[in-house]
Structure formats: C-alpha cells, structure tokens
C-alpha cells in the first residue's frame, strides 16, 4: 500500500522523486521528453511513473488538475522544475537577442512557473517550484526559502 502520491513537473530524470519512491510513495514524473507510453520504475515499496506531457500547454495543466483532484486526499507533495533558461542569470547575455525575436519570452517563462504553483495550490498540496538564480523574484515573487544542494 502506498504512503501517498508525489507529483513532479518538468522532470525527465526522476532524481528528486527517488527518495520519495524508496520511502513507499507513488510518484509521477511529467515531462515532454518522456515516451508516449508511460514507464514504471519500481523502488522498494514505491514507484515512479514517467509520463509524457507538454506542460507548456494550459490544457495539459487542466488535465493534470482533473486527474489528480480525484486523489487529492492522497496527494502528499508537489515539485516543479520549469524551464528557466529565459529568466536565469546564466542566460542573461542572450536576453537582448531573444527579446528581439520574441518580446514576450520572459513573460512566458514566468508563466510556466506560475502555472505550476497554481496547480499545486488548487490541489491544496505542499510544493516547491525550483529555479536557479534568476529574475523570478522581480517578475513574480521572492522565494519562500532557499537551499544549497551540497550544503
């Protein structure tokens, strides 16, 4: 019997889900890079289900909400790793050229993070939206907490 459900968005590797699965949770990793056919990876008492989904489409986020609202009593945690290249400090050297091609490129990138937060809030689940050093604090909100992966 599973301890609960953990959802991870924009997650190709499932690395962040492995400790949850090993602790007995059923985990779902959604990313556009996954194969169309869902893949199950067992980890002790739990598992990770890898499923293809284009999370840049609002209808996909709505589909996720409809899918998981049925299980909201079992939902334990949510995590998201939205594409951050368009707001990360590491990509700042390319912002001017990108803005010439697509003026709203940063607005779109911020919206992906917001969609993730909206989904988790609507499902009433604790969550985090991970993003490296970036402009999200000025274009959306300051982070509630910070961590260093090696500390």
Query: Measured between alpha carbons, how far is 116 from 103 in angstroms, rounded to an integer?
Result: 23
pLDDT of 20 higher than 70: yes
Q: Identify which of 57, 81, 58 has the alpha carbon closest to the alpha carbon of residue 7.
A: 81
- pLDDT value of residue 26: 95
Mean pLDDT of 28-35: 92
pLDDT of 148 higher than 70: no
- pLDDT value of residue 74: 92
Classify 122 in phi/psi space as left (phi over 0), alpha (psi -120 to 50) or beta. Answer: alpha
pLDDT of 117 higher than 80: yes
**With bands split at pLDDT 50, 70 and 90, how would you rate the model's confidence at 135?**
low
Look at the domain 5-139 and name its fold: Rossmann fold (3.40.50)
pLDDT tens, position by position, 97-110: 877 887 777 778 78
pLDDT tens, position by position, 37-90: 878 888 888 999 999 999 988 899 899 999 999 888 899 999 998 876 666 666
Extents of the domains making up the chain: 5-139
Give the pairing of strands 75-80 and 46-52.
Answer: unpaired
Question: Which positions ≥6 away from 90 have C-beta within 8 Å?
Answer: 132, 133
- pLDDT value of residue 136: 60
pLDDT of 91 higher than 80: no
Are the C-beta atoms of residues 56 and 113 closer than 8 Å to each other? no
pLDDT tens, position by position, 118-128: 999 999 999 98
Give the pairing of strands 46-52 and 39-43.
Answer: antiparallel
Classify 86 in phi/psi space as left (phi over 0), alpha (psi -120 to 50) or beta. Answer: alpha
- pLDDT value of residue 123: 94
Question: Which positions ≥6 away from 106 have C-beta within 8 Å?
Answer: 86, 87, 95, 99, 135, 139
CB atoms inside a 10 Å sphere around CB 103: 9
Are the C-beta atoms of residues 74 and 5 closer than 8 Å to each other? yes
Query: Measured between alpha carbons, how far is 111 from 106 in angstroms, rounded to an integer?
Result: 8
- In the predicted model, what is the mean pLDDT of the chain? 83
Mean pLDDT of 13-24: 94
């Amino acid at each position: 019997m599973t301890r609960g459900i953990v959802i991870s968005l924009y997650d190709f590797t499932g690395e962040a889900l492995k400790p949850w699965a090993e602790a007995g949770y059923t985990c779902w990793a959604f990313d556009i890079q996954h194969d169309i056919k869902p893949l199950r990876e067992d980890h002790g008492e739990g598992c990770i289900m890898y499923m293809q989904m284009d999370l840049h489409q609002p209808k996909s986020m709505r589909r996720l909400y409809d899918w998981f609202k049925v299980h909201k009593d079992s939902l334990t945690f949510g995590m998201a790793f939205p594409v951050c290249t368009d707001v990360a400090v590491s990509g700042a050297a390319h912002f001017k050229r990108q803005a010439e091609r697509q003026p709203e490129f940063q607005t779109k990138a911020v919206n992906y993070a917001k969609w993730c937060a909206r989904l988790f809030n609507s499902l009433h689940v604790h969550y985090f939206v991970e993003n490296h050093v970036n402009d999200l604090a000025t274009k959306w909100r300051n982070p509630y907490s910070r961590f260093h992966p090696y500390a």
